[in-house]
């Protein structure tokens, strides 16, 4: 089956990221979508054909975005230029031309979504916008499909990474708002004009979208109450912490009998809540459904590849719909049945993790040296040792060791030798340890 042709509007951070992810993961994406996806046409303000982003090698480049939406070979238009007016015009033109549209543009959807969706409906094309809210977190899909059995009662989200970075730094380092903002601008987390982020307008765009799909109401950005974080002082952050709260810039939407609450403002939330511990530029959305109870979705809310993850997810959704019978739209195991891999499952001995060891040793000199020597012989480094004080008459004392990562078979050998020592009693207790970082 011939590949689906994508036309990209914008080759900036997200546009470049999207081309790169489509290209780098082409093999897996094809196995999932049942069909190749290629960028055939891309528009950017400044074209540099000698310096193309990865994944646009085969594409025609132009600085006229209308060429892309009018190109009869383009099946899916991906709008990543941002802003309101030009983006609206391009998207409506693409729809008029019978093309499916994927966009990451929250402002566009929050302000012109009602008009765009009506046009798409009439024309029978898809408009997908997962990337418009919370970057790489598939929150639109979760609410619109995963929680479709629920009456959504309320949702609350940290949906602006810049604001969350600033509040996190204010708390962790006792710094002032203006000071942290300047740093965020230097780091590229905040725009030169930070109004959209710190005054909550960006969050209000996203909240408008979330509230509509949660409660089934039209998009009503203009009715969203919006208050920024620029007046929060580091004293407020301190006081809140002393009382057991974190201050987060939340978007809150709640459906009550009287009406719908739609509001973005700084908010104290109890530190014991998971969402109170979502720090730095990360985003999270807490959704309360009447059947499911509270659920939380966490991930990177911005950045080239996290946003591209959502854009490409939407493209795959469109391609799956174009490619399969409706009943087979999503393969049971995500990948097409004839594209499953025979990558082997590893036996446990071949797996590498770190370890917690509890060893009962006799309270005599030299035992720790013997154990450490056995570990060293198996190339196992010790990360930490914990030996608690024991009653004076205890003959056997537990020693706790944390090791660095090592293959399980080497640990098995070391444990066998340690258990053979006269100065070690009982079996060695071994619990695996995972840092779960983003290595």
CB atoms within 10 A of CB 59: 22
Query: Is 280 one of the binding residues for a copy of itself (CB under 8 A)?
Result: no
Is the Cβ of residue 53 or residue 266 nearer to a copy of itself in the bound state?
Answer: 266
Using CB under 8 A, count the residues that bind a copy of itself: 146
User: What b/e string do you get for 272-310 counting C-beta neighbours within 10 Å, with b at 16 or more?
Assistant: ebebbebbebbbbbbbbbeeeeebebbbbbbbbbbbbbb
Is the Cβ of residue 23 or residue 71 nearer to a copy of itself in the bound state?
Answer: 23
What CA–CA distances, in Å, run from 88 to 69, 114, 255, 330?
12, 12, 30, 30
- Residue (of 34, 25, 29) closest to 1 by Cα position: 34
Q: Report yes or no: 271 and 240 within 8 Å, Cβ to Cβ.
A: no
Which span (79-87, 343-351, 369-377, 417-425) binds a copy of itself, by CB under 8 A? Answer: 343-351
Touching a copy of itself, residues 151-180 (CB under 8 A) = 151, 156
Query: Is 185 one of the binding residues for a copy of itself (CB under 8 A)?
Result: no
Is the Cβ of residue 45 or residue 187 nearer to a copy of itself in the bound state?
Answer: 187
Give me the least distance between CB of 405 and a copy of itself, in Å please: 12
Q: In angstroms, rounded to a whole number, what is the distance separating the alpha carbons of residues 166 and 172? A: 10
Among 121, 379, 381, 390, binds a copy of itself (CB under 8 A): 121
Q: Is 174 annotated as a binding residue?
A: no
Among 47, 60, 86, 260, binds a copy of itself (CB under 8 A): 260
Hey, which residues does 289 pair with through a beta bridge? 152, 293
Is the Cβ of residue 70 or residue 295 nearer to a copy of itself in the bound state?
Answer: 295
Catalytic residues: 206
Which span (58-66, 164-172, 186-194, 287-295) binds a copy of itself, by CB under 8 A? Answer: 287-295
Query: Is 295 one of the binding residues for a copy of itself (CB under 8 A)?
Result: yes
Give me the least distance between CB of 368 and a copy of itself, in Å please: 16
Among 39, 137, 180, 198, binds a copy of itself (CB under 8 A): 137
Touching a copy of itself, residues 189-218 (CB under 8 A) = 212-218
Give me the least distance between CB of 72 and a copy of itself, in Å please: 19
Q: In angstroms, rounded to a whole number, what is the distance separating the alpha carbons of residues 428 and 350? A: 20
Q: Is 22 annotated as a binding residue?
A: no
Residue at token pair 């930490």: 384
Binding mask 352-371 for a copy of itself (x = CB under 8 A): --x-x-x-------------
Is the Cβ of residue 62 or residue 97 nearer to a copy of itself in the bound state?
Answer: 97
Is the Cβ of residue 66 or residue 215 nearer to a copy of itself in the bound state?
Answer: 215
Among 270, 280, 377, 390, binds a copy of itself (CB under 8 A): 270
Query: Is 115 one of the binding residues for a copy of itself (CB under 8 A)?
Result: no
Binding mask 37-76 for a copy of itself (x = CB under 8 A): ----------------------------------------
Which span (47-55, 188-196, 270-278, 418-426) binds a copy of itself, by CB under 8 A? Answer: 270-278
Q: In angstroms, rounded to a whole number, what is the distance separating the alpha carbons of residues 61 and 68? A: 9
User: What's the burial of 436, exposed, middle or buried (CB within 10 Å: 0-12/13-18/19+)?
Assistant: exposed
Q: In angstroms, rounded to a whole number, what is the distance separating the alpha carbons of residues 54 and 42? A: 12
Query: Is 187 one of the binding residues for a copy of itself (CB under 8 A)?
Result: no
Q: Report yes or no: 287 and 122 within 8 Å, Cβ to Cβ.
A: no
Q: Is 364 annotated as a binding residue?
A: no
Which span (52-60, 72-80, 181-189, 317-325) binds a copy of itself, by CB under 8 A? Answer: 317-325
- Residue (of 171, 154, 151, 155) closest to 163 by Cα position: 171
Query: Is 144 one of the binding residues for a copy of itself (CB under 8 A)?
Result: yes
Q: In angstroms, rounded to a whole number, what is the distance separating the alpha carbons of residues 155 and 283? A: 13
The encoded tokens of residue 221 equal 């950005």
- Residue (of 249, 244, 245) closest to 226 by Cα position: 249
Q: Where are the alpha helices (DSSP H) in 104-250?
A: 106-123, 139-141, 161-173, 177-187, 195-198, 201-215, 234-242
The encoded tokens of residue 28 equal 């897996």
Instruction: Work out whether the CA dihedral 326, 329, 333, 337 comes out positive or negative.
Output: positive
Is the Cβ of residue 12 or residue 60 nearer to a copy of itself in the bound state?
Answer: 12
Q: In angstroms, rounded to a whole number, what is the distance separating the alpha carbons of residues 158 and 161? A: 8
Binding-site residue numbers are 9-16, 106, 191
Binding-site residue numbers for L-homoserine are 191
């Amino acid at each position: 089956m011939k590949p689906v042709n994508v036309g990209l509007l914008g080759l900036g951070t997200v546009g470049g990221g999207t081309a790169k992810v489509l290209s780098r993961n082409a093999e897996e994406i094809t196995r999932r979508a049942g069909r190749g996806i290629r960028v055939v046409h891309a528009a950017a303000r400044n074209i540099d054909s000698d310096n193309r982003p990865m994944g646009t090698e085969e594409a025609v480049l132009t600085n006229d975005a209308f060429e892309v939406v009018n190109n009869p070979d383009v099946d899916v238009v991906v709008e990543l230029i941002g802003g309101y007016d030009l983006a609206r015009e391009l998207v409506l033109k693409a729809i008029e031309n019978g093309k499916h549209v994927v966009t990451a543009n929250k402002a566009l959807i929050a302000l012109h979504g009602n008009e765009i969706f009506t046009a798409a409906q009439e024309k029978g094309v898809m408009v997908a916008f997962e990337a418009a809210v919370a970057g790489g977190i598939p929150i639109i899909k979760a609410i619109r499909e995963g929680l479709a059995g629920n009456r959504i009662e309320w949702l609350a989200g940290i949906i602006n990474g810049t604001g969350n970075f600033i509040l996190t730094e204010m708390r962790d380092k006792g710094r002032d708002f203006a000071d942290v903002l300047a740093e965020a601008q230097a780091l590229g987390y905040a725009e030169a004009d930070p109004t959209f982020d710190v005054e909550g307008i960006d969050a209000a765009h996203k909240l408008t979208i979330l509230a509509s799909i949660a409660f089934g109401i039209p998009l009503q950005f203009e009715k969203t109450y919006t208050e920024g974080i620029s007046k929060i002082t580091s004293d407020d952050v301190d006081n809140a912490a002393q009382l057991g709260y974190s201050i987060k810039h939340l978007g809150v939407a709640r459906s009550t009998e009287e009406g719908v609450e739609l509001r973005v403002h700084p908010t104290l939330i109890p530190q014991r809540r998971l969402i109170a511990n979502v720090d730095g530029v990360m985003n999270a959305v807490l959704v309360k459904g009447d059947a499911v109870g509270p659920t939380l979705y966490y991930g990177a809310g911005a950045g080239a590849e996290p946003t591209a993850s959502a854009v490409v997810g939407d493209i795959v959704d469109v391609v799956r719909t174009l490619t399969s019978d409706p009943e087979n739209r999503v393969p049971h195991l995500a990948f097409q049945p004839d594209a499953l891999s025979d990558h082997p499952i590893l036996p446990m001995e071949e797996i590498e993790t770190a370890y917690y060891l509890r060893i009962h040793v006799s309270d005599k000199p030299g035992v720790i040296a013997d154990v450490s020597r056995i570990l060293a012989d198996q190339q196992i480094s010790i990360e930490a040792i914990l030996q608690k004080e024991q009653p004076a008459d205890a003959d056997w004392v537990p020693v706790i060791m944390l090791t660095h990562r090592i293959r399980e078979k080497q640990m098995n050998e070391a444990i066998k030798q340690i258990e053979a020592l006269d100065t070690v009693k009982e079996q060695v207790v071994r619990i695996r340890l995972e840092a779960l970082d983003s290595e």
